[in-house]
A and B are shown apart, each in its own frame.
Chain A
Amino acid sequence: MTEMLTRPVDAAAATGTVATGTVEILDGRTWTRVCAFEELIPGRGVAVLSESGQQVAVFRDRSGALFAVDNLCPFSGAYVVSRGILGSRDGVPTVSSPMYKHVFDLRDGRCLDEETAPDGRPAVLRVWSVRLSPRHNTSAGDR
């Protein structure tokens, strides 16, 4: 799982201005399109269905940084992480699952409130690689 750990993309910092382009996640060996960067509301997430049928939660924070983690909340068994609220705890970027409000570190997916899920497994969300591609990569039909 660690090989998937990548640094979040600081899109605004990269361009020095309001970023545009396409947000993509690495699904196995190929980059899958998520949506246009502007479609992401700062502080909020979206759910993405990967080519392999997995659910991924993709977020953009207030500074423009992107994060992608599993959409499955290990405490509730429901696919809801993308509907959580972004935040920071002691400078660490976080998302709070909307079901029982467990807070996860967006950098490594680790739950900051409880170490293990009810099923006994470590409460860690898989972290997906996410990137911002230049505008010309977006497909037709994009808004």
Chain B
Amino acid sequence: MTTHLKDLILVGHGMVGQRFLEAFVEQPGAAEWRITVLAEEPRAAYDRVHLTSWFSGTSAEELSLTPTGFLAEHGIDLRLADPVTAVDRAARTVTCASGAELRYDALVLATGSYPFVPPVPGHDAAGCHVYRTIEDLERIRDEADALGGDTGRPGIGVVVGGGLLGLEAAGALTALGLETHVVEFAPRLMAIQVDEGGGKLLKRKIEELGVNVHTGAGTQSVLTHEDGRVRAMGLSDGRELPADLVVFSAGVRPRDQLARECGLPVGERGGIVVDERCRTRDPHVYAIGECALASDGRVYGLVAPGYQMAETAARSLADELREEHHFTGADTSTKLKLLGVDVASFGDAHGATEGAVDVLYSDSRAGVYKKLVIGTDGQLLGGVLVGDTEAYGLLRPLAMGGKPLQTAPEQLVLPAGLAPASGPIALPDEAVVCSCHNVSKGEIRAAVHEQGCTTVPEVKKCTKAGTGCGSCVKMLGTIVTEELEAGGVTVDKSLCEHFGHTRAELYEIVRVAGIASFSELLDRHGRGGEGCDVCKPAVASILASLSRGHILDGEQSALQDTNDHFLANLQRNGSYSVVPRIPGGEITPEGLITIGEIARDHGLYTKITGGQRIDLFGASVDQLPQIWRRLVDAGFESGHAYGKSLRTVKSCVGDTWCRYGVQDSVGLAIELELRYRGLRSPHKLKAAVSGCARECAEAQGKDFGVIATSAGWNLYIGGNGGMTPRHADLLAADLDKETLLKTIDRFLMFYIRTADRLERTSVWLDRIEGGLDHVRQVVMEDSLGICAELDSLMDRHIDAYEDEWAAVLADPDRLRRFTSFVNAPGTPDPAVTFVPERGQIRPARPEEDGRILTPALVAGPRLEVRTA
């Protein structure tokens, strides 16, 4: 290994820098390079586009764009908080703030841009901020928190700049509880993206949200108190706007200082001049992203063009550049949600093309504004959408395609009910569907019919489409389905070969038709046969969800998976484990002793579970009734660890004991666990209650989680741990207990009604159309008019609940099946053997000579561990 490695230095680790690294390491020759990244910020690349979500609880870690292990895997040396201060192109070295001097064979500048702060008097006073990094946001938050306290009135925040970022900042200040003003020099908001009509509507919508908008107003000065803190803002029309905090968001400027200082050409208005390979005048130096002035004479302030430049530079460096990879300009279409208002602009939004005409739909009452710009040949050139951007996914690719429209343009802007009916609008193959990764419709179709992808996730993996901003994912779904259907593949949603229905459809059939048994359902609505291990447990779960009797009664018994069949959890050697319910994880010393005695007397292995309960392992089928007789006598009941049903409601200790708690989390957890115990669902359900925002119960990792606030309870849904962890989404905040219970009732019943078989709430929430907003509308605003029904189903469940194990013990018929051998009741399974380990038992391995657990062997407390 004496091969000489070439040195690549990347200056800047923002979104574009990280993208460059990802693209570069995929190039064939990447292994010949040693990569060093010199970054100014104290943290690795993060998602600046979604920076504002930091205020709504997205952590810095979640915003991170650097996959775990990525740097190590590729041997990349990332030096944070060590910006480059000088470049010596003759010696091919860079000097860092730390004093380090590094040699390079290739240098890539991805220094981004800096916020432009107008040089008005007082612009650097205490209380003035910019909006660019997580550190900026931390400072804004800390200061906003400190305001209000001393004055007694809400603090006043003024944002300078009514563009995209300015409105983001305004949203953040509003969320921080400040009275918020936006001052924009131009006559309308988002002047670059929207036209006058769209701007007017946008202004009204934003004002409705409580933000004060001052357009056509310039910032003259920032006025200060005697202590130097911001007091007010002087406007060009002579007004004085009181202000406690100012955020400058009046655009960005390319950070081209390093290039200037080392003699590289920069544009008149800034930006490092690069060619279509993203190379500067010096063949060893590249510039990409917001710091670069592209070959079309523009500086691009959006991430998608930056990503394209990153790809171009990576390929160019690796000598893999073909002409189609040249960067000669980019689509600056945008779709975003600003302060809850949908705004999109694409193509030639202002109708600058000669001969262009407008097609306009505007409904101020409904708050919708749509404008399409049509070219002389009838082709779509661009447009502006405010209030309803649903059609963006279709319109933008159509505009990029440049072909004459096959559909009347008014049909594209009219609301669904008003538009004349017609077939689906055909998108040309060359239309770019995903602009983040520049993937055309043709490439997506090819992924389906040539590479055999059959689902959106597969297509995403194969083409990268939809993995950037995600705005095209819905379009992607439509194209994939169309392509599959065109190829004769019907997208089969059948549960299995015995039913041509989805689980949700079967649930509806059983509920509406009042079907009481699997046979009835199979005979009347199935395709015949015996059923199988897919449909039987699924139907059993539906019957149980609808409270149709004990799960081991009659035919239902035959449908259950082995765990439900024996009301215990099958372990690897054929023995079972037992979990009594311990609501909220609260247990008396007597209870603990009883469980301990039972485990000891039956020789069981005991372990504390993650759900704050105790699992007892090693029971044979014959032992289960004896164990449960004692548990039930001691007041325990089934924990349903064996069922696709509510498991536990975990809790922290709450305000009863904890110094930081604000509510009684244990009390609520117990109440919830007792309310929903035994509720059968498409998959297991886990829950938790935390007594304060420190979240010790990890409620955001559960199917439903509750976190106490000083004003009530926040309800989160759709969280998951396990293989694909997902942070739960906030469904509703500051609920009183009654509303909380009602909301959970409906959420659970709505999930049970609509989920697929074995679909956890996390997957369900991501899958169902409309997502979290839809669920909120259904369960909180009754948008489907089904809440009364959901409520009555939950009432029925609560009324019908009985302890499954107590019911088994009370019925000799049900008890009879708990035998290892039907022709030799009482004989334990000779194949289930154990050996001792760490003072308890464990299953014997095939080569080990273990012992059978028999009542005789585990007669008393003195025989705790049997030896082989």
Residues of A whose CB lies within 8 Å of any CB of B are 32-35, 39, 41-44, 46-49, 53, 55, 58, 61-62, 72, 76-80, 83-91, 93-94, 96, 98-99, 101, 103
User: Please, which residue of chain B has its CB at the minimum distance from the CB of A86?
Assistant: B530
Q: A88 and B557: CB pair below 8 A?
A: no
Kindly identify, within residues 552 to 578 of chain B, every residue whose CB is under 8 Å from any CB belonging to chain A: 555, 557-559, 561-563, 565-566, 570, 572-574
Kindly identify, within residues 478 to 511 of chain B, every residue whose CB is under 8 Å from any CB belonging to chain A: 497-498
Least Cβ–Cβ distance between B818 and chain A, in angstroms: 12
Take A76-B572, A78-B831, A80-B574 as given contacts and tell me if A34 and B530 are in contact as well, using a CB distance cutoff of 8 Å. no
CA distance A55 to B821 in the complex (A): 9
Pick from B536, B565, B570: contact of A99, CB under 8 Å: B570
CA distance A44 to B816 in the complex (A): 14
* B823 at the binding interface (Cβ < 8 Å): yes
Take A39-B822, A49-B823 as given contacts and tell me if A44 and B831 are in contact as well, using a CB distance cutoff of 8 Å. no
CA distance A13 to B555 in the complex (A): 20
Q: A94 and B532: CB pair below 8 A?
A: yes
Q: Which residues of A contact B822 (CB under 8 A)?
A: 34-35, 39, 46-48, 58
Take A43-B536, A98-B561, A98-B570 as given contacts and tell me if A49 and B827 are in contact as well, using a CB distance cutoff of 8 Å. yes
Take A84-B562, A85-B537, A98-B562 as given contacts and tell me if A48 and B823 are in contact as well, using a CB distance cutoff of 8 Å. yes
- A-B pairs, top 5 by smallest CB distance, nearest first, are A87-B532, A43-B558, A98-B562, A78-B574, A96-B533
Q: B829 and A79: CB pair below 8 A?
A: yes
Least Cβ–Cβ distance between B502 and chain A, in angstroms: 19
* B471 at the binding interface (Cβ < 8 Å): no
Interface centre among B498, B561, B822, B831 (most CB of A within 10 A): B822
Q: Which residues of B contact A103 (CB under 8 A)?
A: 532-533
Take A49-B823, A79-B831, A88-B531 as given contacts and tell me if A44 and B561 are in contact as well, using a CB distance cutoff of 8 Å. no
Q: B562 and A80: CB pair below 8 A?
A: yes
Pick from B555, B824, B846: contact of A42, CB under 8 Å: B555
Q: B559 and A43: CB pair below 8 A?
A: yes
Kindly identify, within residues 157 to 216 of chain B, every residue whose CB is under 8 Å from any CB belonging to chain A: none
* B722 at the binding interface (Cβ < 8 Å): no
* B820 at the binding interface (Cβ < 8 Å): yes
Q: B558 and A79: CB pair below 8 A?
A: no
Dominant SS among interface residues on chain A: strand
User: Please, which residue of chain B has its CB at the minimum distance from the CB of A24?
Assistant: B823
* B67 at the binding interface (Cβ < 8 Å): no
* B64 at the binding interface (Cβ < 8 Å): no
Q: A89 and B823: CB pair below 8 A?
A: no
Q: A78 and B572: CB pair below 8 A?
A: yes
Q: Which residues of A contact B570 (CB under 8 A)?
A: 80, 83, 98-99
Q: B532 and A44: CB pair below 8 A?
A: no
Pick from A47, A58, A72: contact of B820, CB under 8 Å: A47
Least Cβ–Cβ distance between B821 and chain A, in angstroms: 4
Q: A83 and B557: CB pair below 8 A?
A: no
CA distance A53 to B147 in the complex (A): 81
* B529 at the binding interface (Cβ < 8 Å): yes
Q: A79 and B562: CB pair below 8 A?
A: no
Take A41-B558, A47-B820 as given contacts and tell me if A85 and B529 are in contact as well, using a CB distance cutoff of 8 Å. no
Q: Which residues of A contact B257 (CB under 8 A)?
A: none
Residues of B whose CB lies within 8 Å of any CB of A are 497-498, 519, 529-533, 536-537, 555, 557-559, 561-563, 565-566, 570, 572-574, 816-817, 820-824, 827, 829-832, 846
Q: B536 and A87: CB pair below 8 A?
A: yes
Take A76-B572, A85-B559 as given contacts and tell me if A43 and B531 are in contact as well, using a CB distance cutoff of 8 Å. yes
Q: A55 and B529: CB pair below 8 A?
A: no
Q: B533 and A87: CB pair below 8 A?
A: yes
CA distance A43 to B565 in the complex (A): 12
Q: Which residues of A contact B559 (CB under 8 A)?
A: 43, 85
Pick from A32, A35, A61, A79: contact of B530, CB under 8 Å: A61
Q: B532 and A83: CB pair below 8 A?
A: no
CA distance A20 to B532 in the complex (A): 26
Q: Can you pick out 26 interface pairs between chain A and chain B where the beta carbons lie within 8 Å of each other?
A: A43-B530, A43-B531, A48-B823, A49-B821, A49-B823, A49-B827, A53-B830, A61-B530, A76-B572, A78-B572, A78-B574, A80-B562, A80-B574, A85-B536, A85-B537, A85-B559, A85-B561, A86-B530, A87-B530, A87-B533, A88-B531, A89-B497, A94-B532, A98-B561, A98-B570, A103-B532
Pick from A42, A49, A90, A101: contact of B533, CB under 8 Å: A101
Q: A91 and B566: CB pair below 8 A?
A: no
User: Please, which residue of chain B has its CB at the minimum distance from the CB of A53?
Assistant: B830
Interface centre among A72, A83, A84, A101 (most CB of B within 10 A): A83
Q: Which residues of B contact A83 (CB under 8 A)?
A: 562, 565-566, 570
CA distance A53 to B555 in the complex (A): 31
Q: Which residues of A contact B830 (CB under 8 A)?
A: 53
Pick from A48, A86, A91: contact of B821, CB under 8 Å: A48
CA distance A69 to B519 in the complex (A): 25
CA distance A46 to B566 in the complex (A): 13
CA distance A103 to B534 in the complex (A): 11
CA distance A39 to B821 in the complex (A): 13
Pick from A34, A39, A77, A88: contact of B529, CB under 8 Å: A88
CA distance A41 to B552 in the complex (A): 11
With A32-B823, A35-B822, A55-B821 already in contact, 12 other A-B pairs whose C-beta atoms are closer than 8 Å: A35-B823, A41-B555, A43-B536, A46-B821, A47-B820, A58-B822, A61-B530, A78-B832, A85-B533, A98-B562, A98-B563, A101-B533
Q: Which residues of B contact A89 (CB under 8 A)?
A: 497, 532
Q: A47 and B536: CB pair below 8 A?
A: no
Least Cβ–Cβ distance between A103 and chain B, in angstroms: 7
CA distance A83 to B829 in the complex (A): 13
Interface centre among B497, B574, B816 (most CB of A within 10 A): B574
CA distance A78 to B572 in the complex (A): 7
Q: Which residues of A contact B827 (CB under 8 A)?
A: 49
Least Cβ–Cβ distance between B619 and chain A, in angstroms: 14
CA distance A35 to B825 in the complex (A): 11
Q: Which residues of B contact A99 (CB under 8 A)?
A: 570, 572
Q: Which residues of B contact A90 (CB under 8 A)?
A: 497
Q: Which residues of B contact A98 (CB under 8 A)?
A: 561-563, 570
Q: B831 and A47: CB pair below 8 A?
A: no
User: Please, which residue of chain A has its CB at the minimum distance from the CB of B566?
Assistant: A83
Least Cβ–Cβ distance between A12 and chain B, in angstroms: 14
Take A87-B532, A93-B530, A101-B533 as given contacts and tell me if A49 and B557 are in contact as well, using a CB distance cutoff of 8 Å. no
CA distance A17 to B573 in the complex (A): 40
Q: B533 and A78: CB pair below 8 A?
A: no
Interface centre among B530, B537, B570, B816 (most CB of A within 10 A): B530
Least Cβ–Cβ distance between B845 and chain A, in angstroms: 10
CA distance A92 to B574 in the complex (A): 27
Q: Which residues of B contact A42 (CB under 8 A)?
A: 555, 558
Q: Which residues of A contact B563 (CB under 8 A)?
A: 98
Q: Which residues of B contact A62 (CB under 8 A)?
A: 519, 530-531
CA distance A46 to B819 in the complex (A): 9
Q: Which residues of A contact B498 (CB under 8 A)?
A: 88
CA distance A48 to B830 in the complex (A): 12
User: Please, which residue of chain A has its CB at the minimum distance from the CB of B562?
Assistant: A98
CA distance A96 to B532 in the complex (A): 8
Q: B533 and A44: CB pair below 8 A?
A: no
Q: A78 and B532: CB pair below 8 A?
A: no
Q: Which residues of A contact B537 (CB under 8 A)?
A: 85
Least Cβ–Cβ distance between A36 and chain B, in angstroms: 10
Least Cβ–Cβ distance between A107 and chain B, in angstroms: 13
Q: Which residues of A contact B817 (CB under 8 A)?
A: 41
Q: Which residues of A contact B531 (CB under 8 A)?
A: 43, 62, 86-88
Q: B823 and A33: CB pair below 8 A?
A: yes
Least Cβ–Cβ distance between A45 and chain B, in angstroms: 9
Q: Which residues of A contact B561 (CB under 8 A)?
A: 85, 98
